[in-house]
């Protein structure tokens, strides 16, 4: 039996009565008071997630920029200190090793934040390119705790506990400083919910104090269940579901983080895909028949022939509809197109819609 890893807050989650589940090799809370309560708390007020299972790699040295330009799809040269970039790691076949965040902490100094399930895979993949550049990498995943304070009230709740001017942090910006007296924190105006807020990178010994203080101030503890429904409403990809080693960034709708103005792994392959057009696209859809689409369910045409697959699906707590993501032929990818999702051998009607499902006001 696999021995699950824990975070600095695992014992606290248990003591709070959280439902714990295995996730990416960790024991993680999937919910506390209930998914709907936690989802609505984040959308309407403020929720707090423990996402310390995520991985953190430092990249430093004179060749750091050239290295990251080559191994990531986005244009890292556009970053300045204090800015963050969403990107992905193309593999040798034009698929995706992982999606990640790139933090520019200074000249020749970067932080990569990768998915928990891919920490070992990403590290091994990147190490094969390191010898070609004057760069040093360190896997600091075990040294960091990561809390996500998300929701429209996040800044107001967090501001009394830090000297950093949170109002001055634009989206995808960050500051390094103190939080509740703990030095060395990274306060990042990023998140995976579309509700606004901050991701807080902390030394492990600060996690318990920060967690308890934010809950005492009014944040609602939220688990991975709400995190998934929140990200799905925004149409955000989940690695292992919507993107993986067999999908390319262009068919996944990630052409905006694929910059052909620079050289990177498998650039010629992806240029060819761009020139010839993709054969399938990742789309959002809403079920118009009653039912719920789930990961792995077939997408079929009117004759019942399989044409694609659902990659993510769930009832939307905010919209009150059953929504999903899936790959379909380009001919069925235009908003308004009619498709069918096979649920327990029954084809349920669905309509392709533009993303995100939840439109910002």
Please name which of 36, 35, 30, 22 lies closest in space to residue 50, comparing C-alpha atoms. Answer: 30
> How many other C-beta atoms lie within 10 A of the C-beta of residue 255?
17
- Is residue 269 included in any domain, yes or no? no
CA–centroid distance for 174 within its chain: 17
Cα–Cα distance between 189 and 131 in angstroms, integer? 33
Q: Show Cβ contacts of residue 104 under 8 Å, excluding neighbours closer than 6 positions.
A: 76, 79, 80, 81, 82, 83, 84, 85, 110
- Residues 214 and 149 reside in one and the same domain: yes
Kindly state whether residues 14 and 155 are assigned to the same domain: yes
Distance CA 167, CA 162 (A): 12
172 and 31 in a common domain: yes
Residue 164 lies in a domain: yes
Separation CA 42–CA 49 (nearest Å) = 10
Under DSSP, the state recorded for 3 is P
All residues at 6 or more sequence positions from 325 whose CB lies less than 8 Å from its CB, including other chains: 232, 235, 237, 241, 242, 282, 283, 284, 285, 310, 311, 312, 313
Residues 147 and 224 in one domain: yes
pLDDT at 359 (0 to 100): 87
Indicate whether 15 and 148 sit together in one domain: yes
Q: Tell me if 317 is assigned to some domain.
A: yes
Cα-Cα-Cα-Cα dihedral of 206, 103, 236, 304, to 10°?
-120
Could you list the pLDDT tens digit for every one of the 361 residues in the chain? 579 999 999 999 999 999 999 999 999 999 999 999 999 999 999 999 999 999 999 999 999 999 999 999 999 999 999 999 999 999 999 899 999 999 999 999 999 999 999 999 999 999 999 999 999 999 999 999 999 999 999 999 999 999 999 999 999 999 999 999 999 999 999 999 999 999 999 999 999 999 999 999 999 999 999 999 999 999 999 999 999 999 999 999 999 999 999 999 999 999 999 999 999 999 999 999 999 999 999 999 999 999 999 999 999 999 999 999 999 999 999 999 999 999 999 999 999 999 999 987 5
Rounded Cα distance between 258 and 328, Å, is 21
The 3-state DSSP composition of the chain as helix, strand, coil percent (nearest 5) reads 25, 35, 40
Last residue of one domain, picked from the residues 233, 265, 293: 233
Q: What is the pLDDT of residue 360?
A: 74
- Is 113:148 a contact under the CB 8 Å cutoff? no
The CATH number given to whatever domain includes residue 314 is 2.40.30.110
Asked, for residue 92, whether it belongs to a domain, the answer is no
Same domain, 305 and 179: no
Cis (ω within 30 of 0) for the bond into 356? yes
Q: Is residue 117 part of a domain?
A: no
Please tell me whether residues 184 and 294 are part of one structural domain. no
Number of structural domains found in the chain: 2
* 168-176 CB contacts, 8 Å cutoff, 24+ apart: 169/198, 172/83, 172/84, 172/85, 172/86, 173/82, 173/83, 173/84, 174/82, 174/83, 174/84, 174/103, 175/82, 176/105
pTM recorded for the entire structure: 0.97
Which residues 6+ apart lie within 8 Å of 306 measured at CB?
A: 298, 299, 300, 342
Please say which residue of 201, 218, 233 terminates a domain. 233
* Residue that terminates a domain, selected from 207, 233, 259: 233
Q: Is residue 349 part of a domain?
A: yes
Based on the domain organization, do 191 and 291 belong to the same domain?
A: no
Residues 324, 220, single domain; the answer is no
Instruction: Residue 151: give the domain boundaries.
Output: 10-53+142-233
CATH number at residue 190: 3.30.1360.120
> 19 and 148: one domain?
yes
* 47 shares a domain with 167: yes
Q: Do 212 and 148 share a structural domain?
A: yes
Say what the pLDDT of residue 1 is: 59
Helices and strands, number each (H, E), in the chain: 8, 19
Q: Is residue 149 part of a domain?
A: yes
């Amino acid at each position: 039996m696999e021995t699950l890893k824990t975070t600095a807050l695992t014992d606290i989650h248990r003591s709070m009565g959280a439902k714990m589940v295995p996730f990416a090799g960790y024991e993680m809370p999937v919910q506390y008071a209930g998914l709907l309560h936690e989802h609505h708390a984040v959308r309407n007020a403020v929720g707090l997630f423990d996402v310390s299972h995520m991985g953190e790699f430092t990249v430093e040295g004179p060749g750091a920029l050239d290295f990251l330009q080559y191994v990531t799809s986005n244009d890292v040269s556009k970053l300045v200190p204090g800015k963050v970039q969403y990107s992905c790691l193309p593999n040798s076949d034009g698929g995706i090793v992982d999606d990640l965040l790139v933090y520019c902490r200074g000249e020749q100094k970067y932080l990569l934040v990768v998915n928990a399930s891919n920490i070992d895979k990403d590290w091994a993949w990147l190490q094969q390119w390191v010898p070609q550049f004057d760069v040093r990498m360190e896997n600091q995943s075990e040294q960091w705790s990561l809390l996500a304070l998300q929701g429209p009230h996040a800044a107001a709740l967090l501001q009394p506990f830090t000297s950093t001017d949170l109002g001055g942090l634009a989206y995808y910006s960050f500051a390094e400083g103190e939080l509740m007296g703990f030095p060395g924190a990274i306060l990042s105006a990023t998140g995976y919910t579309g509700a606004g807020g901050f991701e807080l990178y902390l030394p492990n010994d600060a996690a318990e104090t920060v967690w308890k203080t934010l809950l005492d101030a009014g944040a609602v503890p939220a688990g991975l269940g709400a995190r998934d429904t929140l990200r799905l409403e925004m149409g955000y990809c989940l690695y292992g579901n919507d993107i993986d080693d067999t999908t390319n960034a262009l068919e996944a709708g990630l052409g905006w983080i694929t910059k052909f103005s620079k050289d990177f792994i498998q650039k010629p392959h992806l240029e060819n895909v761009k020139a010839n057009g993709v054969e399938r696209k990742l789309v959002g859809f809403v079920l118009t028949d009653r039912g719920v689409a789930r990961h792995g369910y077939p997408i079929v045409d009117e004759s019942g022939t399989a044409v694609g697959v659902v990659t993510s699906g769930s009832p939307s707590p905010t919209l009150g509809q059953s929504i999903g993501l899936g790959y379909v032929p380009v001919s069925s990818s235009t908003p308004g197109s009619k498709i069918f999702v096979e649920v327990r051998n029954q084809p349920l009607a669905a309509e392709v819609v533009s993303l995100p499902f939840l439109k910002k006001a």
